[in-house]
Structure 1
Amino acid sequence: MHTLAQLRAGELSGITRLDLSCGLTEFPPEIFNLADTLEVLNLSGNALSSLPDDLHRLTRMRVLFCSDNQFTELPECIGQCAALTMIGFRANRIVNVPGAALPPLLRWLILTDNCIETLPSELGERPLLQKFMLSGNRLQTLPPSLSNCHRLELLRIAANQFTELPQWLLTLPSLTWLAYAGNPLETEADAAALEATPLIDWSALRLEERLGEGASGVISRAIWQRADHSSQAVAVKIYKGEMTSDGSPLHEMNACITAGLHPNLIRVEGRISGHPDGQQGLVMQLIDPSYRNLAALPSLASCSRDVYTEDCRFTTDVALRIARGIASAAEHLHQQGITHGDLYGHNIMLNDQGDCLLGDFGGASFHATEDTLETRALQRIEVRAFGILLEELLVRIDSGLSDELRGGLEGLVQRCCQPDVLARPGFNEVVAVLQKL
């Protein structure tokens, strides 16, 4: 994190990224001295409510973060920034989003956790739009013009006021990761599954080291002292209360429980009761330390694509084992009326043999289990996510791949990713094809 003193002293000349979080109430004009090089401007965590009208003087700025401030309107001056592709205004007080505030090269827009009721029709005139995060607002509809955004891949509209999904949304050719939990339209979680989940008293858990922290909660290793006096090493996830980019953490918890048992899903042992602060949590299977993440989160540059290490390579057998495991897990989820919503390499853990687990249900949503056109479309949107994952695995196979097998896998990728949503195969067919290959 940089300081205002450094900026005013001219010590930051030539930098490409500026991070300032120091209680700012006004935009420091000294930032313009960095215009020749500045590409990423992060002013999150301040008390700003406006930006200067001549912000476009930052001619090289590609990324602007102003989350956790006090904006009530997305500033129109942003729309004049010719090079700007990514905008983040999470957790402000935004009510109004003017069409003029949308820059022409807009690719990634984050407006999570605001007070937005309507969106401008000009969104449909931003053909490069690829990621759009709107969870935690007051939206009841999306502008129909958004149907023109044929590159839109990730859409988060969880925790709003939608009573139905627009039909055009389910036909978008590139839509891949959709989260809509916590809206009136959503099918309820299986109450019987929630009630049948064992309750584990907080006093029976002894927390050890922290294993990780994400947007929805903190995961720790723990020892669970059972009623029969036996003990078991487990993972404990304590959920946060704040809205995440995917939606409500408690919806994630319900999805984890409803998902049930599958060899490629992380097993839920029970729900926590009696937490001293009243927090919600789950006790889950402790993943063996030989498991690692398949990929890293998308970067600012890759936008909607995971980042793999340069030395990430697989044999054909390992790649097929991963693909079959994840396809089987997704088929199981769809049978339970759940779309994962975030089927990505960075949410998959695996070992050297290709044994894998699909985790992170933050983007999960419930849908009807009946075979309707809407259910079929929702499921086949997720099939596109699997097609992208399969392609990422395919290009990283370094041995044992025959021309015939390559052709079969490439053909499956094409079918999963074709623009006609309902023409894609369901996961039952994907699983069958992978078993035959």
Structure 2
Amino acid sequence: MHTLAQLRAGTLAGITRLDLSDNLSEFPREIFDLADSLEVLNLSGNALSSLPDDLHRLTRLRVLFCSDNRFTELPASLGQCAALSMVGFKANRIEHVPGNALPPLLRWLILTDNNVSELPSELGQRPHLQKLMLAGNRLQQLPDSLRNCHRLELIRIAANRLTGLPEWLLCLPSLTWLAYAGNPLETEADAAALEATASIAWSQLLLEQPLGEGASGVIHRATWAKPEQPAATVAVKLYKGEMTSDGSPLHEMNACITAGIHPNLIRVEGRIIDHPQQTDGLVMQLIDPSYRNLAGLPSLASCSRDVYADDTRFTAAVALRIARGIASAAGHLHQQGITHGDLYGHNILCNEHGDCLLGDFGAASFHATQDNLESRALQRIEVRAFGVLLGELLERITSGLSEEERLRLEDLQQRCCQPQVLARPGFDEVVQALAVLNADS
């Protein structure tokens, strides 16, 4: 983190990224001294409510973060920034989004946790738009013009006031990751599954070291003193209350419970009751430390694509085992009326043998369990996410794959990602194709 004193002293000359959080109520004009080099500007965590009209003087600016400030309107000056492609204004008080505030090269827009009730039609006139984060607002509909955004891959519209998903949304050729939980349109979670979940008293749990923290909560290693049984080592996830980019943490918890049992899903042991601060939480199986995340989160540059370590390589057997496991898990979720919404390598834990677990239900949404056009389209959107994953695995297979097998996998990957949503295979067909290929190899 940089300081205002450094900026004013001129010691930051030539930097490409500026991170400045100093309870600012006005935009420091000294930032313009960095115009020849500045590409990423992070002013999150201040008290700003406006940006200067001449912001376009920052001619190299590609990324702007202004989360956790006091904006009530998306600043119109953003629209004059010729190179700006990523705009983040999470957790402000934004009610109005002017059409002229959207920069021409807009690729990634974050308006999570605001008070937006309407979006301008100009949003659909941004052909580079790829990620759209709108969870936790007051939207009752999406602009019809978004049907023109054929590159749009990820949409987060959870926790709004939408009563239906527009037909054109389900036909977008590149849409891959969709989260819409917490809207009136959503089918409710299976009440029977929620009621059947075991209740585990907080007094039975002894928390140990934290294992990780995400947007929705913190996971701890813990000892569970089961009544009249030997103590068990488990993982405990305690959920936060605030809105995440995907939606509500409580929707995530309900999805984890409703998902049920599958060998490629993390098993839920029960729901925590009687927490002293009334914090919601789950007791889950503890994952063996040999499991690692398959990939890293997308970067500012990769936008919607995971980042893999340079040395990530697989044998065909390991890659196919991962692919089969994830396809099977996703198909199981669809049978329960759940779309994962975030089927990505960074949400997959795997070991060196290809044993894998699909985790992080933060973007999960419920849909009808009966087969209809909407549920089929929602499921085929997720099939595209699997197709992206399969392509990433294919790129990193170094041995054990014949040319014929590679061609068959490439064909399956292309069918999963084809632009005609309903023409994509379902996960039953995907699993069968992978099983046949494995039997032949």
TM-score, structure 2 normalization = 0.99
* Letter aligned with residue 89 of structure 1: F
C-alpha root-mean-square deviation of aligned residues, in Å? 0.4
Aligned to 2:381: 381
Paired residue for 1:244? 244
1:229 and 1:362 mapped to 2: Cα distance? 32
Task: Give the secondary structure class of the aligned counterpart of 1:410.
Answer: helix
Q: What is the match of residue 299 of structure 1?
A: 299
Over residues 158-183 of structure 1, what are the superposed CA-to-partner deviations in whole Å (9 max), with x where a residue is unaligned? 00000000000000000000000000
Distance 1:201 1:45 in 2: 37
Query: Could you report, residue by residue, the CA deviation over 1:338-385 in whole angstroms, capped at 9, with x for unpaired residues?
Result: 000000000000000000000000000000001000000000000000
Structural mapping, 1:13-52, within 5 Å: 13-52=13-52
- Give, as a single letter, the amino acid of the residue that structure 1 aligns with 2:125: E
Deviation at 1:229, TM superposition (A): 4.0
Q: Which amino acid aligns with 2:132?
A: F
Q: How does 1:132-281 map to 2 (within 5 A)?
A: 132-281=132-281
1:78 aligned residue: 78
CA distance in 1, matches of 2:382, 2:353: 26
Query: Following the alignment from structure 1 to structure 2, what is the Cα–Cα distance between the partners of residues 244 and 12?
Result: 33
CA–CA separation in structure 1 for the residues paired with 2:224 and 2:264:
23
Q: Which residue of 1 aligns with 2:113?
A: 113
SS class of match (1:167) = coil
Shift of 1:230: 1.1
Q: Which runs of 5+ in 1 are unaligned?
A: none
Which amino acid in 2 is paired with 1:344?
Y
How is 1:322-401 mapped onto 2 (pairs within 5 angstroms)?
322-401=322-401
Shift of 1:111: 0.2
Shift of 1:75: 0.2
What letter corresponds to residue 71 of structure 2 in structure 1? F
Partner AA of 1:36 in structure 2: D
* Distance (Å, rounded) in 1 between the aligned partners of 2:149 and 2:124: 6
CA distance in 1, matches of 2:174, 2:370: 25
- Partner letter of residue 280 of structure 1? D
Give the residue type in structure 2 aligned to 1:237.
Answer: K
Give the counterpart letter for 1:384 in structure 2: R
Q: Distance in 1 between matches of 2:197 and 2:373?
A: 32
Equivalent residue letter for 1:381: I
Q: CA deviation at 1:228?
A: 1.1
Letter in 1 for 2:317: D
For residues 404-423 of structure 1, the aligned pairs below 5 Å read 404-423=404-423
SS at match of 1:398: strand
- Runs of 4+ in structure 1 off by over 4 angstroms are none
Kindly provide the amino acid, as one letter, of the partner of residue 206 in structure 1: L
Q: Deviations over 1:320-351 (max 9, x none)?
A: 00000000000000000000000000000000
Q: Distance in 2 between matches of 1:158 and 1:365?
A: 9
**Structure-1 residue corresponding to 2:11:** 11
SS of the equivalent of 1:271 reads strand
Distance of 1:375 and 1:200 partners within structure 2: 34
SS at match of 1:404: helix
TM (norm. structure 1) is 1.00
Question: C-alpha separation between the residues in 1 aligned to 2:112 and 2:20?
Answer: 21
Q: 2:221 & 2:400 partners in 1: Cα distance?
A: 38
1:186: how far off? 0.2
Equivalent-residue separation in structure 1 for 2:113 and 2:287 (angstroms): 32
- 3-state DSSP of counterpart to 1:37: coil
* In 1, Cα distance between equivalents of 2:310 and 2:332: 32
For residues 430 and 322 of structure 2, the distance between their equivalents in structure 1, rounded to whole angstroms, comes to: 13
Alignment correspondent of 1:68: 68
Whether 1:436 aligns to 2:436 is: yes
- The aligned length equals 437
2:131 aligned partner: 131
Q: Distance in 1 between matches of 2:245 and 2:55?
A: 27
Classify the secondary structure of the residue corresponding to 2:233. strand
Q: In structure 2, list runs of 5 or more residues that go unmatched.
A: none
**CA displacement, residues 160-219 of structure 1 (integer Å, 9 cap, x when unaligned):** 000000000000000000000000000000011001100001110000000000000000
Q: Secondary structure at the match of 1:67?
A: coil
Q: Describe the superposition over 1:275-329 as per-residue Cα deviations: whole angstroms up to 9, x where unpaired.
A: 1100000000000000000000000000000000010000000000000000000
Amino acid aligned to 2:247: G
Quote the Cα distance in structure 2 between the aligned partners of 1:210 and 1:15: 35
